Chain A
């Protein structure tokens, strides 16, 4: 890049690794608060601009913290394995909007085929278990025990 002097054109382009991942909060959050995992280099101002300009989401307040990833687990060579650190952002939406993290794995309604197959499978497992057990009249005593 040519040497930059005051008043000259700014020719460098910076492309930081800015990403935001909406996550389900571990602890219940108020209705207007959304929890994100963001890149470690993003600041509160960056997060606000990102949401407002790219996604047109009105942002009232942003609070961030850095979660330290633990370093206690050890691998087969007894070396410590570090879980990566990440930054968490709590964004309060403006204009009275609310957000509830959706249920990504809803229980699907089973059709008759799957239901009857499940019934058949459970009955089969019960029969197998009963075959494994011995005579109920022996009261749980194994059949090799005896004279």
Chain B
């Protein structure tokens, strides 16, 4: 107290410095006052914008991928549940608009050319496959178009052996094995399900000698694939949040029959910014599809957790359920919806899988992918097979990021073709080699370095 009193009397008007001599004031090392920004908690548009920026910054700065996914899906609100296997009419057009996908019928030319190389040796000698047998092919590893270097040392694929493998699996499941009659509406899991599992596992094991990626792959039985995303905006119609502009949220919870995950990514089919068509624009609410809303966990999952080394997708196998079978659709006079079922399944499942793979690598709608993610899928009902290849070019589907986003995701798909005609008395009639060859090509797909 005495010191204070003494200081007051000392030299009024002069500052009391701890150092004796009054020096010039030091130049300001930084701003003297904190930056003038909008409030965080006010009920204003500027505050809302600042909260959004804070959320984006938090997700960008998250240390691990698990933390990013946790923050990304932290806020739960009612969202549309998108089912890849749906009875809704013309669902594939709606799904393309939700996922910003272009559908190209037929298979991409690169995959066709790369697959043409390990052609059947059983077929009569053709010029290009004949070159595969020459040992000289092993030396030109620099040629980008020639994918034979690895296969050049191996004998060409024997179509007969592959056919016998497939027929064995089919006959075992449908003819040799004594099964009881299937329960009502459980036909698909009685015969085609086990046949598909058996076929894929035997083919994958047979071809793992040719494709080292398959040898290092992981085959999942009935895995779960989930993805949560936002696309566009809508005005809330009812409830305490009525009148506010909200992003439209979607969630896919898919359970493919089989899935092959690999440690290395498949190569890109076309460059990242290619434009192969148009995305359909639908101005109606998704509930008119019909699509229904529910609020539950926002899950992003590829089939294994983040730490798994096989974090990229190779091929998925989907089995069409009983209520969407061909016969039922024909009986209900919905023949044009048969292909729609296959297409919507391919597009939705593959979008969810590739986008979840991209999120596992740390990309999200604000941090768009820098390289395309490619995956394949086979959709079947036991007899008819349809093949799909999906390239994910963009994850930015929210209203702000979609405005200036020229990139589109691309899905190539074929029509459904039968693998065989009918199984009678231990014989498989009219076995279709093309379909089997297509399946083998899919399994042999690998990055160019291998």
The answer to whether A100 has its CB under 8 Å from any CB of chain B is no
CB pair B336–A96 under 8 Å, yes or no, is yes
A57-75 Cβ-contact flags toward B at 8 Å (1 or 0): 0101101000000000000
How far is B288's CA from A33's CA once the two chains are assembled, in angstroms? Answer: 9
Select which of B282, B290, B333 is within 8 A of A94 by beta carbon: B333
A60-B89 contact given A29-B284, A94-B334, CB 8 Å threshold:
yes
* Interchain CB contact under 8 A, B290 and A63: yes
The minimal Cβ–Cβ distance linking B35 to chain A, given in whole angstroms, is: 46
A30's partner among B284, B334, B336, B337 (CB-CB below 8 A) is: B284
List which A52-101 residues lie within 8 A (CB) of chain B: 58, 60-61, 63, 92, 94-96
A-B pairs, top 8 by smallest CB distance, nearest first, are A30-B288, A30-B284, A60-B89, A92-B89, A61-B89, A60-B334, A29-B288, A28-B284
Query: In which size bucket is the chain B interface?
Result: 10 to 19
Give how many A-B residue pairs fall within 8 Å (CB-CB). Answer: 22
Rounded to whole angstroms, the CA-CA distance of A33 and B283 in the bound complex is 14
What distance in Å separates the Cβ of B367 from its nearest Cβ neighbour in chain A?
35
CB distance from A50 to the nearest CB of B (A): 16
Chain B: CB-nearest residue to A61:
B89
Query: Which residues on A sit within 8 Å (CB–CB) of B282?
Result: 30
A96 CA / B337 CA spacing, docked (Å): 11
A88 to chain B, nearest CB (A): 14
A128 to chain B, nearest CB (A): 43
Q: Give the residue name and chain of the A residue nearest to B289 (CB).
A: A30
Interface of A is mostly: loop
Cα A14 to Cα B288 with chains together (Å): 35
* B-side interface mostly: loop
Q: Closest A residue to B283 by CB, please name it.
A: A28
Please give, as numbers and ranges, the residues of chain B lying within 8 Å of A96 by CB-CB distance.
336
CB-nearest residue of chain B to A93: B89
Sampled A-B contacts (22; CB under 8 Å) = A27-B285, A28-B283, A28-B284, A29-B284, A29-B288, A30-B282, A30-B284, A30-B288, A32-B89, A32-B90, A33-B288, A58-B333, A60-B89, A60-B334, A60-B337, A61-B89, A63-B290, A92-B89, A94-B333, A94-B334, A95-B336, A96-B336
- The complex places the Cα of A63 from the Cα of B287 at a distance, in Å, of 12
Cα-based distance from A36 to B284 in the complex (angstroms): 19
Which residues in chain B, 282-312, are within 8 Å of chain A measured between CB atoms? 282-285, 288, 290
Of chain B, the residue at the smallest CB distance from A29 is B288
Shortest distance between the CB of B33 and any CB in chain A (Å): 52
Chain A residues with Cβ under 8 A from B337's Cβ?
60
Q: Which residues of B contact A32 (CB under 8 A)?
A: 89-90
Docked complex Cα distance between A61 and B91 (Å): 13
With a cutoff of 8 Å between Cβ atoms, the chain B residues found around residue A58 in the complex are: 333
B67-92: contact bitstring with A at CB < 8 Å (1 yes, 0 no)? 00000000000000000000001100
* Alpha-carbon gap, A80 to B283, bound state (A): 40
CA distance A61 to B284 in the complex (A): 18
Known contacts A29-B288, A60-B334, A96-B336; 17 additional CB pairs below 8 A are A27-B285, A28-B283, A28-B284, A29-B284, A30-B282, A30-B284, A30-B288, A32-B89, A32-B90, A33-B288, A58-B333, A60-B89, A60-B337, A63-B290, A92-B89, A94-B334, A95-B336
For B284, the chain A residues whose CB sits under 8 A away are 28-30
Q: Give the complex CA separation of A124 and B357 in angstroms.
A: 75
Which residues B45-87 have CB closer than 8 A to chain A? none
- Whole-angstrom distance between the alpha carbons of A95 and B337 in the complex? 10
- Which residues of A from 36 to 60 have beta carbons under 8 Å from B? 58, 60
Report chain A residues within 8 Å CB of B288.
Answer: 29-30, 33
Contacts of B334 in A (CB 8 A): 60, 94
B288 closest partner in A (C-beta)? A30
List chain B residues, Cβ under 8 A from A33.
288
| Whole-angstrom CA separation of A58 from B89 in the bound complex | 14
Inter-chain contacts of B336 with A (CB < 8 A): 95-96
B 66-125 contacts with A by CB, 8 A: 89-90
Q: In angstroms, how far is the closest chain B Cβ from the Cβ of A100?
A: 14
